[in-house]
Each structure stands twice: as structure tokens, then as C-alpha cells.
């Protein structure tokens, strides 16, 4: 069965839980990613860092391709924390990405990058760092399937949620209606998921609160329950 490439384009029924494999056990990445999906995650979030846009390195297309082989039916949501996303659109399309999100802070025309990503058969998202004014998304609201709000400074998992970004989320949801997804990324766990959905998020990314939990299934259930209360 092919991956559900249209997941971000359908109206949300309930908030989606995206398991960020950044906190998975890299020594058994395929199994751990599958385990997260069986535990209740709706999709996998793949954090790509170039050591330039963010002060860390993580994974590239080869790792994404390996995850695709291990999880052929999963929706792969690739988050490019890189200075030059244009270089990586085709490699990630070939590696099986369903959607690719790049940052508004980087150089390059977001509309041109989005068009290229779509040409390659991927959905497309636009992200911004916590301190970036949400108005930077305004010219591009309708051009993206998803707008990602960083709720930590990107580069590492396991950081504390920055509640100030909830105002950005509300601003986006008010303008988007049900036209696009709003994704929260960073410090999302059972304690913060409700505030995120209350502010209009419908995709919750979680790395440490899921993969760091003693019981993945219970952690995923707690996240869904908290999200539903928001
Ligand atoms: C941070 C990444 C996040 C990260 C979230 O730079 O973009 O996706 O994996 O990690 P947690 O959920 O542990 O904050
Ligand atoms: Zn991310």
C-alpha cells in the first residue's frame, strides 16, 4: 500500500500526532519509528539540520530513504532546518518524503521553492522560528499546505515549550480557517498539547515526550487525550 501523501491536504478530523524521529534510537531507527506509528502516532517528522541554519547536524536523505523502506506506509513530514533548502528538495523527494517544510528566514523565494516541491510530488510547509514575526507568513498563507510554528529555538529536542508562540498560532488559524494545517514543533507533550490545539494547531510534533517515555503507547494516548481537551 502506498503512503498517504494527501494527509495534510484533508480537513482535520482530530489533531495529528507527528513523531519526531530526532529522539528515536538511531541504532534501531526503523523499528523505533514503526513502534511509534503502532503506538498511535499519525505520521513521522524528520528533522534535517545542516550545522549552519541551526547549531547541530542530524540526518540527510539517506536516513529518510531508510525510514521510508522501514515504514512504507508512513507519511514522512520533512522539516528542513537548512540555509539552502532548494538544494535538498529533489534528494528528499527521491528519498520518499511526502511533505517538505522549509523556513521563512532562509534566502530564496518561498513561492518558487514551494512550486518546485509540488512539481516533485511533495506537499509543502513554511516554518518560522519563535522570534520571527508571524507577519512573515502573511504573503504566503494560501501557497502552503502547512505553517509550522517553532515553539523552541530549533536545533535540539528536549527543550522547554515557549508559550509566547501561541499568539502566532492563533493569528495563523484566524487567517487560514480550515484551509491549511498549523503545526507546533518543540516542547510539545501532554502538558502543552492542549494549549496548542486550543490555539488552533492541528499537527503536534513530539520527539522527547514520545520516544523518551517509558511506554510509547501510553505517551501517545496521553498526547491525543491532551490535544482533544484543547
Ligand atoms: C527541533 C526540532 C523538533 C524537535 C522537537 O529543532 O525541529 O522537531 O525534534 O523535539 P521535542 O519534542 O523533544 O521538543
Ligand atoms: Zn522539527
Note the pLDDT tens digit of each residue in 109-149: 999 999 999 999 999 999 999 999 999 999 999 999 999 99
On whether residue 52 sits in a domain, the answer given is yes
Nearest to 89 by CA among 71, 58, 54, 64: 64
Indicate whether 2 pLDDT > 60: no
Looking at the structure of the chain, the number of domains it has is 1
Centre of ligand 1 from the C-alpha of residue 156, in Å:
6
- The answer to whether 23 and 207 are in contact (CB under 8 A) is yes
Asked about 47 being catalytic, the answer comes back as: yes
On whether residue 218 sits in a domain, the answer given is yes
On whether residue 35 sits in a domain, the answer given is yes
50 lines ligand 1 (CB under 6 A): no
- Active-site residue among 42, 47, 77, 98? 47
CATH for 110? 3.20.20.70
53 vs 57: CA distance, rounded Å: 10
On whether residue 4 sits in a domain, the answer given is no
Range of the domain at 204: 16-229
Ligand with minimal distance to 17 CA:
1
Probe target for ligand 1 pocket from 127, 162, 186, 193, with the most ligand atoms within 8 Å of CB: 186
Beta strands in the chain (DSSP E): 16-20, 43-49, 76-81, 99-103, 123-128, 146-150, 181-185, 203-206
Centre of ligand 2 from the C-alpha of residue 20, in Å:
7
What pLDDT does residue 12 have? 65
Cα dist from 151 to 71, 97, 129, 198, 202, whole Å: 27, 23, 8, 15, 14
On whether residue 6 sits in a domain, the answer given is no
186 lines ligand 1 (CB under 6 A): yes
Q: How far is CA 134 from the centre of its chain?
A: 17
What pLDDT does residue 9 have? 78
Indicate whether 37 pLDDT > 50: yes
Centre of ligand 2 from the C-alpha of residue 97, in Å:
14
On whether residue 5 sits in a domain, the answer given is no
What pLDDT does residue 11 have? 65
What pLDDT does residue 213 have? 98
207 lines ligand 1 (CB under 6 A): yes
On whether residue 3 sits in a domain, the answer given is no
Could you give the angle at the alpha carbon of 187 between the alpha carbons of 12 and 133, nearest 5°?
A: 75
What torsion do the CA atoms of 23, 209, 176, 200 make, to the nearest 10 degrees? -170
185 lines ligand 1 (CB under 6 A): yes
What pLDDT does residue 78 have? 98
Centre of ligand 1 from the C-alpha of residue 113, in Å:
23
157 lines ligand 1 (CB under 6 A): yes
Read off the pLDDT band of 1 (50, 70, 90): very low
- The answer to whether 158 and 212 are in contact (CB under 8 A) is yes
pLDDT digit string (tens) for 166-218? 999 999 999 999 989 999 999 999 999 999 999 999 999 999 999 999 999 99
On whether residue 2 sits in a domain, the answer given is no
pTM: 0.97
Closest protein CA for atom 10 of ligand 1: 157
Indicate whether 5 pLDDT > 80: no
Backbone angles phi, psi at 184, to 5 degrees: -105, 135
Asked about 191 being catalytic, the answer comes back as: no
154 lines ligand 1 (CB under 6 A): yes
Amino acid at each position: 500500500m502506498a503512503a498517504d501523501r494527501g494527509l495534510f491536504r484533508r480537513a482535520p478530523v482530530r489533531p495529528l500526532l507527528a513523531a519526531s524521529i530526532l529522539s528515536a534510537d538511531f541504532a534501531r531507527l526503523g523499528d523505533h519509528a514503526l513502534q511509534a506509528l503502532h503506538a498511535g502516532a499519525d505520521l513521522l517528522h524528520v528533522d534535517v539540520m545542516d550545522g549552519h541554519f541551526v547549531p547541530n547536524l542530524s540526518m540527510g536523505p539517506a536516513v529518510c530513504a531508510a525510514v521510508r523502506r522501514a515504514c512504507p506506509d508512513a507519511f514522512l513530514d520533512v522539516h528542513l532546518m537548512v540555509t539552502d533548502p532548494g538544494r535538498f528538495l529533489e534528494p528528499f523527494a527521491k528519498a520518499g518524503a511526502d511533505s517538505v517544510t522549509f523556513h521563512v528566514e532562509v534566502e530564496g523565494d518561498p513561492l518558487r521553492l514551494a512550486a518546485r516541491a509540488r512539481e516533485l510530488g511533495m506537499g509543502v510547509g513554511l516554518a518560522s522560528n519563535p522570534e520571527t514575526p508571524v507577519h512573515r507568513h502573511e504573503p504566503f498563507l494560501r501557497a502552503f499546505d502547512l505553517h509550522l510554528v517553532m515553539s523552541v529555538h530549533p536545533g535540539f529536542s528536549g527543550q522547554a515549550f515557549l508559550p509566547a508562540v501561541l499568539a502566532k498560532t492563533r493569528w495563523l488559524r484566524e487567517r487560514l480557517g480550515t484551509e491549511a494545517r498549523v503545526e507546533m514543533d518543540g516542547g510539545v507533550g501532554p502538558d502543552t498539547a492542549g494549549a496548542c490545539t486550543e490555539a488552533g494547531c492541528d499537527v503536534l510534533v513530539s520527539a522527547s515526550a514520545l520516544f523518551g517515555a517509558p511506554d510509547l503507547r501510553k505517551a501517545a494516548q496521553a498526547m491525543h487525550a491532551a490535544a482533544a481537551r484543547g
